[in-house]
Structure 1
Amino acid sequence: MSGAAVAGAMTPGRTATGPAAGPWLLGVRHHGPGSARAVLAALRAARPAAVLIEGPPEADALVPLAADPRMHPPVALLAHAVDDPGRASFWPMAAFSPEWVAIRWALDHDVPVRFIDLPAAHSLALKEPAPEEPGEGPERAEHAQEEEVTPVVDPIRVLAETAGYDDPERWWEDVVEHRSPTGERDDGGMGPEGAAPDDAPGDALAPFVALAEAMSALREAYGDGGQPRDAVREAYMRIQLRTARKEFGDEVAVVCGAWHVPALAARTTLGADRALLKGLPKVRTDLTWVPWTHRRLARQSGYGAGIDSPGWYGHLFEAADRPIERWMTKVAGLLRGEDRFVSTAHVIEAVRLADTLAALRGRPLAGLGETTDAVRAVMCEGSDVPLALVRDRLIVGESLGEVPDTTPAVPLQRDLTRSQRTLRLKPEASERELDLDLRKETDAARSRLLHRLRLLDVGWGDPVAGRGSTGTFRESWRLSWEPELHVRVAEAGVWGTTVLTAATAKAASQAVAATALADVTALAEHCLLAGLPDALPVVMKALADRAALDADVGHLADALPALARSLRYGDVRSTDTAALTEVAAGLAERICVGLPPACTGLDPDGAETLRGQVEAVHGAIGLLDTGAEPGTGLRERWDAVLHKLAARDTVAGIIRGRATRLLLDEGRLPEDEAARLMGLALSPGAPPADAAAWIEGFVGGTSGGGMLLVHDERLLGLVDTWLTGVPADRFTGVLPLLRRTFSAYEPGVRRTLGELVRRGPAPEGARRDDAAPPTGGFGPGLDRARADAVEPVLRLLLGRPPEPAEAAV
């Protein structure tokens, strides 16, 4: 068949002639509303005795669930290996998928329906497990149907190019999607029929005959299209078709990918087909229905289901008439909900513009390209910002399907579903934030569930920084349910039948297998957050064992903050943390003993790492301080360590500077002493690189060091004097470190420091009210006028009556 013949066969309006007798091979494009309408028309006209559908035969027992009123597409058949749940495949179906339409028609008319593709037991065994890399895993588990149906040679693209189109989607819309239905809705309420009840089978089958001719030409030219496994699948489908014809006669309809139609129509022997299937590997499999999303049907989601705009296709399938007008009304409603002014006149003008663009471009009806251009020009005033919202919410869509409670599922999935219902945490496809108040019983239970799922690697929610209170009784989560999480739940089912028992078993197993002390302490924190009291004894024993054997101060410093947070959260969650307190106190004592020697003889990278650990330990000590008598508590021990670090010349400069700053911020170091230490660190005898490192530790980063220099003239003067005294040949060596230090300040802080340096220091002994220009901040003199101006505000805040002079003012 020539290219011109292919184009002619697929030209809109061409009536193909073909036999009206079965079996009827209905070649479709998966998730195509035009194909779905055509399938409905063909089934209604032909009234087959049985319907065969491309899909795993193990799912035959699940077909009756499609008629359940609680089943709402998009949904997907999920098949996974029993012994390796991560090896899984999906068969998604939307309301506009031809397979779903055929299933619903068959159930509504009491017609037997069967799946005839290669069993999942074989397809999963043939499929190599995907490597666990970023962006891979269950979300990359290919849909066996789509992955193997779509050849290296894209038939839709070839047909579009043959017909003179440069866009296969636009060609498909013109040829298939814009075929106007002539009948009414089916009594099952599944969308436009596409054929009147009295349509002749030959008329209803005409599109499929034309598509079969085109695919036959492509198969002659390209063979298997680069997918040799198709021969095995097609051999199995031919065997199943023979079996169905023996049982039901020739009155059988087959709904499959159009690419397979020529192979199913080919004359082969039963022995040849069985020879292709001989020796196929096999695994035990489980199948079920799971909810799916429109977003997962879109190519841009990373899951190649074959369509760019599932929301638009769903609209085309559901709109019985005037699809463009109804679409523009949807867009207007969405934009109005976002507080954009869109009037009825905008809708009318957008429809007219879309129709005009279709006429100018020679299209039978306005398609997605024309409607999008019209929306951008009329409703979005030429901006792509609101148009992005239309693409996300309508063109792609956020629909999440539902399956009935009677759907087979692993016990862990059933327990999770019950918990979600009890806690009123409905899975949603769209991303949303959830703020929890742990003082409330329901919110605390929600938090425990989400933490348990994280421990089981079921990433439904991710903790985020809260926008409100930072207290320990607040938690914020970002929730987004992806269909692939059903695979994660199936994988986690090996640990237990409920979320609690599974999380407990996995935590205990990880505690025994962990080799790093920090891993065990992090696990202990997870157990407290997740409310796993039965796992804590095992974790605590592992923690005590690792802590006793680990003499590396760096490892101890990495482990302590997690323990401190665990104690903090345990207090909020009313958890018994006595064992944790004892281990944490022991770790802190060992850190206090071993830290000073560990801070000497370090290279720059090692010093930077240890500086971060000193900061983390300082924060942890603040949480662990038990309030013992002054001089005997943990806080006093730690302060003594910081004084040692700040005073020793052998300690790396960045650590000495940070220790000085921590003591100053805590009020444990007089300002005069801090100035003395800075003067020593920045003395002419100190190497410039070491002095720059001290400055980085003292005022670097986002620790508020810039404001400290703004408000303390002495420290700023010391830094300025040292910096101007660095020799020219040494200045280039310290410049990168200084740039890193000061570039982290806020722009306003940098600007203020520049102004202070430009003015220069105040003369020695000058006061704020002297004629000399001030340097700003708190210098040697007191600015009494500014201090007096603050007093009335303080009295107002404290509720004290103003002085008589103030009242008079």
Structure 2
Amino acid sequence: MSVSVLGVRHHGPGSARAVRRELERLRPDVILIEGPPEADALVTHAPGLEPPVALLAHVPGAPARAAFWPFAEFSPEWQAIRYGTSAGVPVRFCDLPAAHSLADAPPEADPGGPEPGTEPPGTAAPAGVTPGTAVPGGGAGPDGVAPGGPGAGAAVTGMRGDPIGALAGAAGYDDPERWWEDVVEHRGGDTPFEVIAEAMAAVREGYRPDEREARREAYMRKTLRAAIKQGFGRIAVVCGAWHVPALTGPLPSVTADNAVLRGLSKVKAELTWVPWTYGRLASWSGYGAGITSPGWYHHLFDTPDRPVERWLAAAAAVLRDEGLAVSSAHVIESVRLAGSLAALRGRPLAGLGEVTEAARAVLCEGDDLAVELIQRRMVVGDRLGHVSDGTPMVPLQRDLRDRQRRLKLRPEALDREIDLDLRKPLDLDRSHLLHRLRLLGVGWGTPVRARGKGTFRETWTLQWRPEHDLALIEHAALGTTVPSAAAQRAGDLAGAPSATLADLTSLVEQCLLADLPQALPGVLAALSAKAALDTDVTHLMAALPAMVRAHRYGDVRGTSADGLAVIVRSMLERICVGLPVAVTGLDDDAAADLLKHVDAVHSAVALLTDPPENTSPQRTAAPETAPSEETAAPEGAGPEETAAPEGAGPEERAASGAPPSGVARSEVVEEAGSAVSPRGRWMGTLRGISDRQDLHGLIEGRLTRILLDSGELDDAGDRMSRAMSRGQAPARAAAWVEGFLSGGGLLLVHDPRLLGLVDDWLTGLSGEQFVDVLPLLRRTFGGFAAPERRSIGERLRSAGRDDADREQDVDEHRAAAAVATVLSIIGGTDG
């Protein structure tokens, strides 16, 4: 019986080649790999997987308790798995079971800590750390490494520094990663495992592991003893180099290891394979047990012959694809420079640092943007793994995969922008799927503001990330298909006590975008109840635009929006009732905030269609006397709206279209029984407010402009004259001008009278008054487009020149006869 313990660096290309060669030489009867034993049954799926992939362990019903064990093509463990499956050798995992490690995780991830199954961002793991990750919320590395801890060999329980750092320092290196690459990764697969074991034994001398690490290593020894007991003669163990001394030499007794493992807490853990990305392997993405350059390591593993030359040639091709001029001479010189740098630094082979410096100096000619392009495309890479259809999945994952295949949307790690034409059935189905996934918290697609104005077009940016699989598993209990799960999720969100009016209106919009008619009635009922209870008019104004947009979706998507019209008109009625009170006593900031809501509501009202005439039996000619509060229908009421019963609660009043409790119908009805369009009701409200004398100048000016653009005013000039008269404070006049001109400066270009009024007001200000109002004026005119400012200046210059010309071109001799005639008509004397 022989046991060979191969200490490796996880995700190391040199270690991967060495493990493969050593296994082919040893021809073991069983292979033990550091990882959760629950994944033993998943090893058989490895031949159908395309790295990078990861083992995902999670606790059903508690998605925060999850961890990943990622593998790349150049991971030694992956090469051991591939050798075992191809040679028919049993492969088992020997680390602490996920059922125990996840039991120690908190129920919810620490918001301030790393993501589930991650390490602190920016901490590169030393050689020999496990591919499995720490539980959520932990600050230490997966092997109990505390970044920045004491030096190697310190006899402190549970604390150790970077063992590779200690060995590199002993060898005279200031960079542990560079030392490991020189002595292991760049040796062409000839890794001295015996020397690594001896070095790690020296580093661990006097070190006592903490409780978690002690349990992990005790379970490794337990698995090793079980393999020996089962009669395997040649056993190969592939683990992090740090654990080699714990598995060789004098081992603790069985009793001692059992005592360490006694009393472990346990949860039900489920494991599966999920796709992974090279971006997630890079340490800058937050996965501390990864590497900073997965693309470079993949290249080293795939290209053992002349890797530097081939790498720089590929970098030149990347730059050429972006339109940069890079010749073969550039590549030759960059290869020579990289080799010279490696020789000067005493390295056996140019590493990533040398080839990057050579590319920066020669290929990129010092351009940092070009270097960043190489870093993103090649050093990190955009590779996304793939799992086979036979891999265990929850029904929701499998349904999404089927839909991706049917809709021809392949998950990719690199950002990809797609344009959807909603008039085409395929693109419409794609849009529905992406919106449903967003409702489930799967942000595979991010909407991009469309460049065109057509409502039939959508633009998305797609990028698949490994955590999307975890989100699907988290929501697996909601349904077996994406539509059913999204509908259930919408219902849960609508019923949440913390849901605000804005949340519910956004949820209605999402339901229509995602085509979830089964979820819409419940969401609308919750929205109606919330709108009836909310007395803040600004909340209603903030919610109305989304509701109006949702009502319009049926015109483009063919989605039924029945029931929205009643709620929209009810909300608009409440806004019209409450707005006159809301505009009273506002300071500058409050007035500016309210105007944003006014503009949004005004744009939304323009999308509403007028109600059909004579469609409601309740709408009759208005009697001569005002109707009572109990019998009057609300102005603009729809066919379903009737008077709320006496004593009705907020929900019943909302459903019936009645105004909020405490508001008499006489306050919201201008012409009882007449069908008033939403636009007419809104414009009538604005017209009534604009005539008040207590308005803030900004609001009065903006309302005047809205009414003028809508054709509701014919005395805008007179209003401007009054607002800028000498009796008004200059600051209020400037605010009025700012509000009036906030819609753009073309009005001054095309209306000489208004331009003259503004010009006369400005020229009539004293020097001190002009300085006071200058900031407001600069903000107002600075918001105009450059052509508008240029046209206004030309108008003013032209007007001034015409006045001067008229004064200078008067011919008194030719005018004398006309003057005499006028004087004779009016009875004057001939002067």
Deviation at 1:709? 3.7
Contact between 2:419 and 2:458, CA under 8 Å: does it hold in 1? yes
For residue 67 of structure 1, what is the aligned residue in structure 2?
47
2:808 and 2:459 mapped to 1: Cα distance? Answer: 52
Deviation at 1:639? 1.6
For residue 646 of structure 1, what is the aligned residue in structure 2?
690
Contact between 2:541 and 2:598, CA under 8 Å: does it hold in 1? yes
2:202 and 2:575 mapped to 1: Cα distance? Answer: 77
For residue 247 of structure 2, what is the aligned residue in structure 1?
264
Distance 1:139 1:746, change over 3 A: farther
Q: What is the Cα-based RMSD across aligned positions, in Å?
A: 2.7
For residue 253 of structure 1, what is the aligned residue in structure 2?
236
Q: Does 1:208 align with 2:193?
A: yes
* Partner AA of 1:478 in structure 2: T
Distance 1:51 1:632, change over 3 A: same
- Structure 1 window deviating more from structure 2 (580-589 vs 293-302): it is 580-589
Q: Does 1:409 align with 2:387?
A: no
For residue 634 of structure 1, what is the aligned residue in structure 2?
678
Q: Does 1:606 align with 2:590?
A: yes
- Structure 1 window deviating more from structure 2 (257-266 vs 340-349): it is 340-349
- Structure 1 window deviating more from structure 2 (620-629 vs 306-315): it is 620-629
For residue 684 of structure 1, what is the aligned residue in structure 2?
726
Contact between 1:139 and 1:484, CA under 8 Å: does it hold in 2? no
For residue 167 of structure 1, what is the aligned residue in structure 2?
175
Deviation at 1:548? 2.9
1:725 and 1:294 mapped to 2: Cα distance? Answer: 68
Corresponding residue to 1:744 among 762, 765, 783: 783
SS of aligned partner of 2:800: coil
Please list, as runs of the form range in 1=range in 2, the aligned pairs for 1:291-310 lying within 5 A after superposition: 291-310=275-294
2:519 and 2:232 mapped to 1: Cα distance? Answer: 62
1:246 and 1:586 mapped to 2: Cα distance? Answer: 77
SS of aligned partner of 1:41: helix
- Structure 1 window deviating more from structure 2 (151-160 vs 30-39): it is 151-160
Deviation at 1:614? 0.7
* Partner AA of 1:524 in structure 2: V
Corresponding residue to 1:348 among 332, 339, 342: 332
* Partner AA of 1:164 in structure 2: G
2:378 and 2:765 mapped to 1: Cα distance? Answer: 63
SS of aligned partner of 1:66: helix
For residue 628 of structure 2, what is the aligned residue in structure 1?
none
Contact between 1:646 and 1:660, CA under 8 Å: does it hold in 2? yes
Q: Does 1:220 align with 2:198?
A: no
SS of aligned partner of 1:91: strand
- Structure 1 window deviating more from structure 2 (687-696 vs 597-606): it is 687-696
- Structure 1 window deviating more from structure 2 (239-248 vs 91-100): it is 239-248
Report % sequence identity.
56
Distance 1:572 1:136, change over 3 A: farther
Deviation at 1:693? 2.8
> Can you list the C-alpha shifts for 1:119-178, whole angstroms capped at 9, x where unaligned?
111111112356475996458588744731362222223322222122222222211121
For residue 400 of structure 1, what is the aligned residue in structure 2?
384
SS of aligned partner of 2:419: strand
Q: Does 1:490 align with 2:470?
A: no
Distance 1:536 1:404, change over 3 A: same
Deviation at 1:644? 2.1
Corresponding residue to 1:512 among 464, 489, 495: 495
1:250 and 1:714 mapped to 2: Cα distance? Answer: 102
1:520 and 1:638 mapped to 2: Cα distance? Answer: 23
Corresponding residue to 1:94 among 67, 72, 75: 72
Corresponding residue to 1:30 among 5, 10, 18: 10
SS of aligned partner of 1:252: strand
> Can you list the C-alpha shifts for 1:233-259, whole angstroms capped at 9, x where unaligned?
111111111111222445211111111
SS of aligned partner of 1:624: coil
- Structure 1 window deviating more from structure 2 (124-133 vs 40-49): it is 124-133
Count of residue correspondences:
717
Q: Does 1:279 align with 2:294?
A: no
1:625 and 1:772 mapped to 2: Cα distance? Answer: 57
2:697 and 2:482 mapped to 1: Cα distance? Answer: 50
Q: Does 1:697 align with 2:691?
A: no
SS of aligned partner of 2:173: coil
Distance 1:264 1:771, change over 3 A: farther
* Partner AA of 2:268 in structure 1: R
* Partner AA of 1:343 in structure 2: S
Contact between 1:149 and 1:257, CA under 8 Å: does it hold in 2? no
Q: Does 1:148 align with 2:142?
A: yes
* Partner AA of 1:122 in structure 2: H
SS of aligned partner of 2:606: helix
Contact between 1:86 and 1:487, CA under 8 Å: does it hold in 2? no
Q: Does 1:367 align with 2:351?
A: yes
Contact between 2:66 and 2:117, CA under 8 Å: does it hold in 1? no
Contact between 1:88 and 1:141, CA under 8 Å: does it hold in 2? no
Unaligned runs of 5+ in 1: 1-20, 182-193, 195-205, 774-809
For residue 626 of structure 2, what is the aligned residue in structure 1?
none
Corresponding residue to 1:176 among 181, 184, 202: 184
- Structure 1 window deviating more from structure 2 (722-731 vs 302-311): it is 722-731
Corresponding residue to 1:114 among 80, 92, 103: 92
Contact between 2:70 and 2:132, CA under 8 Å: does it hold in 1? no
For residue 481 of structure 1, what is the aligned residue in structure 2?
464
Deviation at 1:277? 1.8
SS of aligned partner of 1:551: coil
SS of aligned partner of 2:64: coil
Distance 1:760 1:727, change over 3 A: farther
Unaligned runs of 5+ in 2: 121-130, 135-140, 147-160, 614-673, 810-831
> Can you list the C-alpha shifts for 1:422-467, whole angstroms capped at 9, x where unaligned?
1111111001111111000011001111111111111111111012
Q: Does 1:324 align with 2:302?
A: no
2:806 and 2:237 mapped to 1: Cα distance? Answer: 98
SS of aligned partner of 1:87: strand
Distance 1:102 1:658, change over 3 A: same
Corresponding residue to 1:127 among 89, 105, 123: 105
1:129 and 1:458 mapped to 2: Cα distance? Answer: 21
2:808 and 2:86 mapped to 1: Cα distance? Answer: 95
For residue 239 of structure 1, what is the aligned residue in structure 2?
222
* Partner AA of 1:47 in structure 2: R
For residue 184 of structure 1, what is the aligned residue in structure 2?
none
Distance 1:551 1:38, change over 3 A: same
* Partner AA of 1:270 in structure 2: V
* Partner AA of 2:492 in structure 1: S
> Can you list the C-alpha shifts for 1:293-324, whole angstroms capped at 9, x where unaligned?
11111111222233111001001001131111
Distance 1:440 1:171, change over 3 A: same
Q: Does 1:79 align with 2:64?
A: no
Distance 1:250 1:744, change over 3 A: farther
- The TM-score, its normalising length taken from structure 1, stands at 0.83
2:390 and 2:7 mapped to 1: Cα distance? Answer: 32
Contact between 2:35 and 2:69, CA under 8 Å: does it hold in 1? yes
Contact between 2:8 and 2:241, CA under 8 Å: does it hold in 1? yes
1:561 and 1:674 mapped to 2: Cα distance? Answer: 28
For residue 663 of structure 2, what is the aligned residue in structure 1?
none
For residue 718 of structure 1, what is the aligned residue in structure 2?
757
SS of aligned partner of 2:447: strand
Please list, as runs of the form range in 1=range in 2, the aligned pairs for 1:450-461 lying within 5 A after superposition: 450-461=434-445
Find the structure with the greater CA-based Rg. Answer: 2
1:463 and 1:34 mapped to 2: Cα distance? Answer: 42
For residue 665 of structure 1, what is the aligned residue in structure 2?
709
SS of aligned partner of 1:85: strand
- The TM-score, its normalising length taken from structure 2, stands at 0.81
Deviation at 1:345? 3.0
For residue 514 of structure 2, what is the aligned residue in structure 1?
530
